Amino acid sequence: MYIYIHIPFCHNICSYCDFAKIYYNEKYINKYLDALKKEIQLKYKNEIVKTIYIGGGTPTSLNIDDLEKLLKITEVFNKDKKIEFTIESNVELSLDKIKLLKKYNVNRISLGVQSFNNKILKILNRTHNENDIIKCINLLKENDFNNINIDLIYAVTNDINIVKEDIKKALNLNVNHISCYSLIIENNTMLKINNYQNIDEDIEYEMYKYIENMLEKNNFIHYEISNYSKAGFESIHNKNYWLNNSYYAFGLGAVSYLNNIRITNTRNINKYINNDYETSRIKENKKMQMENEIMLGLRMLKGINLNTFYLKYNKKLEDVFKIDDLLKDKILIKENDHIKVDKKYIYLLNEILIRLIN
């Protein structure tokens, strides 16, 4: 089983973020952690856990005592010996917190770097600078963290030179995983409220190809639309999402997928701390499951395993979805029992999915 835990607290709200989050407030934190512990006790059935991913918000915004309380909650899980245990963090990560994470066997850190450029960081309402990033990475490495991901956001402005500089500096950090996301202006974010505009699509595509080419030249494997890793450092947790397999998700606004039921938690902090966790349970029929399988699976460069699809649904993928024309046009490729999008078209995945599903 795979587990996601959501910690919604942030000292600073980023201008692009539409996740369930609230400003750091001492009066809520202990109550929230108590409610989280109860939710886990209520729902977790002692399955062997292959990954834990603590996201946010900013989990490491908790003070040292509260962070330890959170990590102690995770001790209830029946952990696999080779567990991947990830926590998200801003780069303002102190040595005492790094040592605490090590003590509780966290072994993967995902850092919200987003950019090294001060102008971009200001637009995104981030509070760190390039020196903070370098200091944090060095501290992590000195304390034996070698499985580090950094998140980058591109297409914030039309200036491709900023992206080139960001990729160069990211490579200099010598980390094993880099996630690169094109800026999406979501509803209910400061960017949307301030009417911030997306950049030119052709320039955005040029940026995407530049990132892909530079990272691949430097021994990164492009294994999912937005994700690149050195060999052996793919995110096991995120791959489980893309394979459309089951997972628990605990905390504010978290969404679980269990026995083909999509369970969505409330985004209302007062309801959550009063143990009123869920807002909906949707039982997915076979059609919905297969559509999710293809929407998620084709995000991976390796594509979808046709044998696995048949074993799951007792149907051949080619009998369910209109793939013949896409195969003929060489947009989709059949290879080694997999259907995948040709790499040069993966950037157009949304348009391809419309052709497949409609």
Domain segments of the chain as ranges? 2-241
Residue 9 pLDDT level (bands cut at 50, 70, 90) = confident
Q: Which residue has the higher pLDDT, 13 or 103?
A: 103
Compute the C-alpha angle 167/18/57, nearest 5°: 75
CATH superfamily of 2-241: Aldolase class I (3.20.20.70)
Residue 23 carries which side chain, given as an amino acid letter? Y
- Strands 332-335 and 338-341, by their bridges, are antiparallel
- pLDDT reading at 342 higher than 80: yes
Cα 66 from Cα 159, distance rounded (Å): 41
Residue 222 pLDDT level (bands cut at 50, 70, 90) = very high
Instruction: Please tell me the number of Cα atoms within 13 Å of 335 on its side-chain side.
Output: 11
- Strands 248-250 and 2-7, by their bridges, are parallel
Question: Are 92 and 58 a contacting pair, CB within 8 Å?
Answer: no
Cα 77 from Cα 247, distance rounded (Å): 13
> Average pLDDT for residues 233-243, to the nearest whole number?
94
- pLDDT reading at 72 higher than 90: yes
Range with the lowest mean pLDDT among 89-103, 121-135, 209-223? 121-135
- pLDDT reading at 217 higher than 70: yes
- pLDDT reading at 21 higher than 70: no
Q: 3-class SS at 96?
A: helix
Looking at residue 262, what is its pLDDT?
95
Write down the residue that tokens 């992206």 correspond to: 163
Question: Are 173 and 167 a contacting pair, CB within 8 Å?
Answer: no
Looking at residue 57, what is its pLDDT?
83
Q: How many residues does the chain have?
A: 358
Q: Which residue has the higher pLDDT, 37 or 193?
A: 37
Looking at residue 124, what is its pLDDT?
85
Contacts of 159 by beta carbon, 8 Å cutoff, 6+ apart: none
> Average pLDDT for residues 285-294, to the nearest whole number?
92
Phi, psi of 187 (to 5 degrees): -60, 155
Q: 3-class SS at 75?
A: helix
Q: Which residue has the higher pLDDT, 271 or 11?
A: 271
Compute the C-alpha angle 234/316/346, nearest 5°: 40
- Strands 48-56 and 304-305, by their bridges, are unpaired
Looking at residue 20, what is its pLDDT?
67
Mean pLDDT for all residues in the chain: 91
> Average pLDDT for residues 153-172, to the nearest whole number?
93
Question: Are 71 and 112 a contacting pair, CB within 8 Å?
Answer: no
Containing 256, the helix (H) or strand (E) segment is: strand 255-258
Closest by Cα among 239, 325, 244 to 288: 244
* pTM of structure: 0.92
Burial class (CB in 10 A: 0-12, 13-18, 19+), 9: buried
Question: Are 322 and 311 a contacting pair, CB within 8 Å?
Answer: no
Looking at residue 319, what is its pLDDT?
87
